[in-house]
């Protein structure tokens, strides 16, 4: 465990806690955290996770904008549900990106867990996209992805990061409960 990992993990907990509370400061704090984790994952040859953190950096900026300026009245988004088609397209995109990224990592890199890492990367992007749009279902996907990340990080000896993702899982359960209570009413 490095000091960088400890700081990144602390920022990660703070960012997810703020997300559960729908506080827009989750996004800039998350931005710093993901940039730190991109370096950590590069060092342990989890290249898909490194790329994921860089994609998260872009999505952190997008989410910050969505939560503060998005929505119908440009005053920030409200919690809402995905339509079936949106959910299906998101999951299909996650599956296709998993296959393409897994193949690329298995073929052209010395990645430690190319297919597993690629699948978690792809579905994390889907969950993050849904989160930026304040879609309730993001939390269900985060629960599944975070549990699998715990196993991956344990296998790589990233014990603090595995613990962090265990905590992320618990926060995702709380996020599901909290956001479900705040769900925007459906217009009649």
Going from N- to C-terminal start, the domains of the chain cover 3-73+89-181
The alpha-helical segments, DSSP class H, found in the chain are: 3-20, 26-43, 47-69, 84-108, 114-132, 138-155, 159-181
The whole-number pLDDT of residue 2 equals 84
The whole-number pLDDT of residue 5 equals 87
In whole angstroms, what is the distance from residue 128 CA to residue 163 CA?
Answer: 20
Closest CA to 147 of 163, 136, 129: 163
The whole-number pLDDT of residue 52 equals 80
* 184 pLDDT above the threshold of 70: no
pTM of the model: 0.85
Please write the tens of the pLDDT for every residue from 60-70. 999 999 888 87
Please write the tens of the pLDDT for every residue from 78-129. 899 999 999 999 999 999 999 999 999 999 988 889 999 899 989 999 999 9
User: What angle in degrees, to the nearest 10, is found between the helix axes of 114-132 and 84-108?
Assistant: 150
**Contact partners, residue 139, CB within 8 Å, separation at least 6:** 172, 173, 175, 176, 179
* 21 pLDDT above the threshold of 90: yes
Residue 188 pLDDT grade (very low, low, confident, very high; cuts 50, 70, 90): very low
The owner of tokens 């269900």 is 140
């Amino acid at each position: 465990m490095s000091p960088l990992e400890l700081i990144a993990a602390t920022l990660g907990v703070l960012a997810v806690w703020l997300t559960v509370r729908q506080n827009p400061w989750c996004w800039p704090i998350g931005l710093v955290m993901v940039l730190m984790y991109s370096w950590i994952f590069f060092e342990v040859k989890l290249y898909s996770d490194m790329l994921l953190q860089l994609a998260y950096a872009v999505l952190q900026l997008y989410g910050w904008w969505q939560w503060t300026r998005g929505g119908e009245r440009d005053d920030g988004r409200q919690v809402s549900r995905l339509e079936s088609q949106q959910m299906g397209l998101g999951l299909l995109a996650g599956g296709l990106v998993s296959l393409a990224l897994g193949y690329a990592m298995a073929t052209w890199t010395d990645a430690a867990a190319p297919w597993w890492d690629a699948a978690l990367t792809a579905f994390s992007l889907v969950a993050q996209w849904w989160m930026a749009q304040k879609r309730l279902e993001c939390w269900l996907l985060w629960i599944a992805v975070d549990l699998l990340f715990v196993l991956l990080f344990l296998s790589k000896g990233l014990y603090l990061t595995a613990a962090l993702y265990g905590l992320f899982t618990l926060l995702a359960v709380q996020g599901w409960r909290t956001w479900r209570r705040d769900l925007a009413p459906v217009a009649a």
